Chains A and B, each alone.
Chain A
Amino acid sequence: MRRRRFIGAGAAVAAAAALGARAQGGLAPSQDLTPFIAKITGGKPVERGGIEIEIPAVAENGNSVPTRIRVASPMSPEDHVDAVHVFAPRNPRPHVATFHLGPQAARAEISTRIRLAGTQKVTVLAALSGGRFRLGDFEVLVTSAACLDESSL
């Protein structure tokens, strides 16, 4: 008898999980970041790599996702990171933040907490001294998206 009930409960949980997945699928699709990036780079070439984005691969709560960004750079007056731009393409406003560093910043490393409206590829654009640019991204699975109620807007 109890086993029946247990199986029934399990099925209900599975159904709820499937429903949750569908609800997330109904969120806004990923926006194309090309215009955002082009506005910053001004059409200059962008390299890949050299950026480490540390986010838990599965974020339980999209309202507060701990994020650490590290850009490989000696941070000397000649060769340093000028700015770090963070994008979340599936957020209603994809541009999350911009951090301005300089040679006085000892390391090109920033930790913060961001909002993520659903599973998406967090993208970081680093502006280096001398007009060079680097791009990196990291796929995050978000179990409970930030501000789900806005999906109905």
Chain B
Amino acid sequence: MLIGRLQVPASVRKGEAFEVRVLVQHPMETGFRRDMNGGAIPINILDKVSCRYAGREVFSAELGSGMSANPYLSFFLRADASGEIEVTWSDDRGEKGRATATVTVA
């Protein structure tokens, strides 16, 4: 289970843009670094992030080793209807995580 946080405004006006911010705890190990004994540290990258709004995928990302450790993403969605925002992520070892938040459209 990969831990992460999701932040959305609690309430938005219909038709307006709102910001979704995601922060996932992950080392984003590049595979280029070496440990104290000179052995290579194996690569471990959080490579997929996907966001669903009211059951429909509205944003997704493929990340590489050029992303900073503990990847942070922010993007904008249009407020159509009240519903659940679900963000899921997974790394190259099949570890997964998810976070949900409810947005109320006034």
Do A and B pair up? The answer is yes
Q: A residues engaging B (CB < 8 A)?
A: 63-65, 86, 88, 91-102, 104-107, 109-116, 147, 149-150, 153
Q: How large is the interface on B (under 10, 10 to 19, 20 to 34, 35 or more residues)?
A: 20 to 34
User: Which residues on B sit within 8 Å (CB–CB) of A110?
Assistant: 73-75
Contact residue among B60, B68, B78 (Cβ-Cβ distance under 8 Å from A106): B78
Other-chain contact of A107, B17, B61, B63, B66 (Cβ < 8 Å): B17
Query: How far is A99 from B80 in the complex, measured between Cα atoms in Å?
Result: 21
Q: A48 to nearest B CB, angstroms?
A: 23
Contacts of B68 in A (CB 8 A): 63-65, 112-115
Q: How far is the CB of B74 from chain A (nearest CB, A)?
A: 4
Q: Say yes or no for B2: interface residue by CB 8 A criterion.
A: no
Q: A29 to nearest B CB, angstroms? A: 17
**Chain A contacts for B34, CB-based, 8 A:** 149
Specify which chain B residues have a CB less than 8 angstroms from the CB of A100 in the assembled complex: 59-61
B90 to chain A, nearest CB (A): 15
In-complex Cβ contact of B66 among A96, A99, A105, A150 (8 A): A96
CB closest chain-A residue, reference B40: A153
Give the complex CA separation of A63 and B33 in angstroms. Answer: 13
Q: Which residues of A contact B6 (CB under 8 A)?
A: none
Measured between C-beta atoms, what is the minimum distance from B41 to chain A in Å? 11
Q: Which residues of B contact A153 (CB under 8 A)?
A: 32
